[in-house]
Amino acid sequence: MTTALATIFVFGLIVFIHELGHFITAKMSGMQVDEFAIGFGPAIFKVQKGETLYSIRIIPLGGFNRIAGMTPDEPLNERSFYTKPAWKKFIVISAGAVFNFLLAIVLFFGLNAT
């Protein structure tokens, strides 16, 4: 049981950092983030802060950021993903992997420092 909980915690931390990378860069790029979620399926917990809904969902196998205008089929505004320049889209999309890499560096140096 402890191993399963530890696995869920570690995986959840990795997912959280990954999605946080997308979230922070989307906000800094002036994009509208409608939802920041950890997990999939029905929400266990959710809270609305400003324009963003923050939620924790029942299946802890990933997460997502719902950014307005990710496809041209959605209604677009000046803060939509689709209307932003390509370099901003690239930064937002790649930020998840970059944040995971930074997490690995921080953990590596943190563990070696102790």
pLDDT at residue 21, as a whole number: 97
To the query of whether residue 19 is one of the catalytic residues in this protein, the response is: yes
Buried b (16+ CB within 10 A) or exposed e, 41-54: eeeeeeeeeeebbb
pLDDT at residue 64, as a whole number: 95
pLDDT at residue 82, as a whole number: 92
Strand (E) positions, 1-114? Answer: 33-49, 52-67
User: Catalytic residue among 19, 51, 74, 78, which?
Assistant: 19
Count of H-run helices and E-run strands, the chain: 2, 2
**What are the extents of the domains in the chain?**
2-113
pLDDT at residue 61, as a whole number: 86
pLDDT along the chain (114 residues), means of 10: 88 95 97 95 95 93 93 87 95 97 96 91
